[in-house]
């Protein structure tokens, strides 16, 4: 029986409403590490200094014993997130509203709630989306709220036939070339305690999950786009940020792209063929 056939949506939807709470402290070392990984000046952050806006993705992450790690390097299915049986899982996107900035020394709490589980069918097969709402707070109050979408996918086709290449994105008035090499992917995986093998294990990602190369993290692409938008805006952080993965991006050259809008920027990463991979929007 296929994994799709075993997917019991009614059972998985029982996880809706489940709540999890966690806490952590923003440290100077983590802020410095994230700055360096996002091609920013690492500096020497001190207590009270602001962290990059996507600092929260580096904290309060699931930590399990080695025996509880699944075959893909993630914690085994179940627990807070529903045990979706589809084998490939990735961060599909999300939306964040910023009301304050996290600072070095902040004690941060996070409340997470599963708000939806739904099944869709795409060009590559079944897609199960799990939506999680997060609220991050410091002693000063709520710092940000976020809706996160996680997607679980069917295995690659048995015939190994590659999907059709995505269309080329339009030329952007603002563009910045970067290279996502294995070292960058490793550093971001380490910062986010992400053991997912698609980001560092080339034999696994090509032989088991059927991708042509190491997958560039969705959150890393989103973080780079957000920092690019802030750079273009003269260092002023946005009030909200939305991002959505539309195509996988693999290690190698890429570009960050920005198109001005009425209240900010439309943003996207593009692969060497010019196809958009992560789309985003920053609003002031």
pLDDT digits (tens, 9 = 90+) for 88-142: 788 889 999 999 999 999 999 999 999 999 998 866 678 999 999 999 999 999 9
Listed residue (175, 284, 171) closest to 235, CA to CA: 284
Q: Which residues pair with 226 in a beta bridge?
A: none
Whole-angstrom Cα Rg for the chain: 19
pLDDT digits (tens, 9 = 90+) for 162-186: 666 778 888 899 999 999 999 999 9
Report the percentage of the chain scoring pLDDT > 90: 77
Question: Is residue 2's pLDDT more than 80?
Answer: no
When the pLDDT of each residue in the chain is averaged and rounded to a whole number, the result is 92
User: Which of 5 and 235 is assigned the larger pLDDT?
Assistant: 235
> What strands, in cross-sheet order, belong to the sheet with 19-25?
19-25, 107-122, 125-138, 141-153, 88-98, 240-245, 276-283, 264-270, 252-260, 174-180
pLDDT digits (tens, 9 = 90+) for 11-55: 999 999 999 999 999 999 999 999 999 999 999 999 999 999 999
8 Å CB contact between 283 and 255? no
Question: Is residue 239's pLDDT more than 60?
Answer: yes
pLDDT band at 199 (very low <50, low <70, confident <90, very high): very high
Q: How many CB atoms lie within 10 A of CB 112?
A: 20
pLDDT digits (tens, 9 = 90+) for 183-192: 999 999 999 9
pLDDT digits (tens, 9 = 90+) for 244-261: 999 999 999 999 999 999
Helix, coil or strand: residue 187: helix
Q: Which pLDDT belongs to residue 163? A: 64
Sorted by sequence, the CB contacts under 8 Å of residue 40 that are 6+ apart come out as 52, 227
Q: Which pLDDT belongs to residue 159? A: 62
What is the residue-wise DSSP string for 19-35? EEEEEEE--HHHHHHHH
CA distances from residue 69 to 75, 108, 196, 223 in whole angstroms, order as listed: 4, 26, 10, 26
Q: Which pLDDT belongs to residue 46? A: 98
Element of type H or E holding 203:
helix 202-207
The answer to whether domain 9-283 has CATH 3.10.129.10 is yes
Q: Which pLDDT belongs to residue 5? A: 47
User: Which of 69 and 272 is assigned the larger pLDDT?
Assistant: 272
8 Å CB contact between 75 and 139? no
Look at the block and give the residue holding tokens 């090509």.
206
Q: What is the pTM of this model?
A: 0.92
Question: Is residue 160's pLDDT more than 90?
Answer: no
């Amino acid at each position: 029986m296929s994994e799709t056939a075993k997917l019991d949506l009614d059972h998985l939807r029982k996880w809706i409403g489940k709540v999890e709470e966690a806490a952590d402290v923003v440290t100077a070392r983590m802020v410095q590490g994230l700055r360096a990984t996002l091609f920013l000046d690492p500096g020497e952050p001190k207590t009270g200094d602001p962290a990059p806006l996507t600092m929260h993705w580096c904290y309060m992450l699931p930590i399990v014993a080695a025996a509880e790690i699944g075959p893909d390097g993630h914690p085994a299915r179940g627990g807070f997130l529903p045990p979706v049986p589809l084998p490939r899982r990735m961060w599909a996107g999300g939306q964040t509203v910023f009301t304050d900035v996290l600072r070095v020394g902040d004690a941060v709490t996070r409340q997470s709630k599963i708000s939806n589980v739904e099944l869709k069918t795409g060009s590559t097969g079944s897609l199960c989306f799990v939506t999680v709402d997060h609220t991050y707070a410091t002693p000063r109050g709520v710092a940000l709220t976020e809706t996160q979408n996680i997607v679980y996918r069917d295995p690659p086709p048995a015939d190994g036939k590659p999907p059709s290449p995505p269309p080329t994105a339009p030329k952007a008035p603002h563009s910045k070339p970067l290279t996502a090499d294995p070292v960058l992917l490793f550093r971001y995986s380490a910062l986010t305690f992400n053991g997912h093998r698609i980001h560092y294990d080339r034999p696994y990602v090509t032989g088991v999950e059927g991708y042509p190369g190491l997958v560039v993290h969705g959150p890393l692409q989103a973080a780079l786009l957000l920092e690019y938008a802030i750079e273009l805006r003269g260092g002023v952080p946005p009030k909200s940020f939305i991002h959505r993965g539309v195509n996988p991006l693999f290690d190698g050259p890429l570009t960050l792209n920005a198109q001005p809008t009425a209240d900010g920027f439309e943003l996207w990463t593009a692969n060497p063929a010019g196809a958009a991979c992560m789309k985003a929007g920053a609003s002031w």
